Amino acid sequence: MSAAASLPRLIALGETMVMITPAHAESLATADDLRLHVGGAESNVASHTAALGIPSAWVSAVGDDVLGERVRRVIAGRGVDVRWVGVDPDAPTGVYFKDPGRGVLYYRRGSAASRMSPQSIVDVPLEDAAVVHVSGITSALSPTCAAMMDAVVERVASADALLSFDVNHRAALWQPGAAAPALLALARRADVVFVGLDEAHTVWGCDTPADVRELLPEPALLVVKDGDVGATESSRTDDGEATTFVPAIATDVVEPVGAGDAFAAGYLAALLRGADAAGRLAAGHERAHLVLLSTSDFVIEPPTVKGWSQP
């Protein structure tokens, strides 16, 4: 296979950590049985798009430790290209704990991924991808990560690749007042933006998808997700602005974590196959639906929604 033929169509960049969670729905304070998984927004997207037949890569850094080995092995086992995942001998792999009913406990300060910088992506062929996917989480990890995000944006802007940006607001990662302007600046420089209506309200005070579009007129494609209601795409066309809404699939939710990443992956895979707005949103809902039915962030069953086509 030639080097060009082996390049990924989608590159996702961001931290993935080891996730420790009780084996049953009980508090960490009383749980005796725990399970180890891996979790990260960007690697979730790459895992889903790879499962959907889109050659995908995940770019990050892990520690030179057994947990880093586990993270790389798990993501690679999903069919994701991990050749650009660095190993930092001087920093650990991040860890977080799920405490059912009480939230999440993060132990990521000083992690290998938080030490990434513009130098970390020098050899990554961002310009050769069709889509480069990032999220607002990465900019909040450290000043060097924020500088790396700026470098990603600048490189993609000068290429034919699309920059996909999921706002992914994590309040605990930001200093008070810092998130809103930083996330807005990144979103305005992206080609495709995903944001939940709830987080758009929290961060920017938006109440409707139209409010979000007024705030973000720059992206060619803006997707506003409204939980179990549905998702709205606003897009620029030759005839002006087009708006498409597709309702969510009725679901008995088992676990919501990871559904947003699955939606983005389904949407982007459909976009890369040339689906129309309704088809893109439907594919996103279908992938999210499968994750909502599971305790896992990743599932392998393909979407079957109308208009979806497998390779």
d(CA 216, CA 167): 12
Query: Two tokens at 202?
Result: 């929290």
CA distance 264 to 42: 10
What is the distance in angstroms between the CA of the first residue and the CA of the last residue of the chain? 19
Give the bridge partners for 261, in sequence order: none
Q: Which two tokens stand for residue 303?
A: 């979407």
CA distance 241 to 220: 10
- Three-class DSSP category at 253: coil
Going from the C-alpha of 121 to that of each of 11, 78, 101, 137, 242, the distances in angstroms are: 11, 22, 38, 17, 35
Strands 230-237 and 240-247: antiparallel
* 81, 88, 166, 261: the active-site residue: 261
Q: Is 261 a catalytic residue?
A: yes
- Other CB atoms within a 10 A radius of the CB of residue 308 amount to 20
Catalytic positions, please?
261
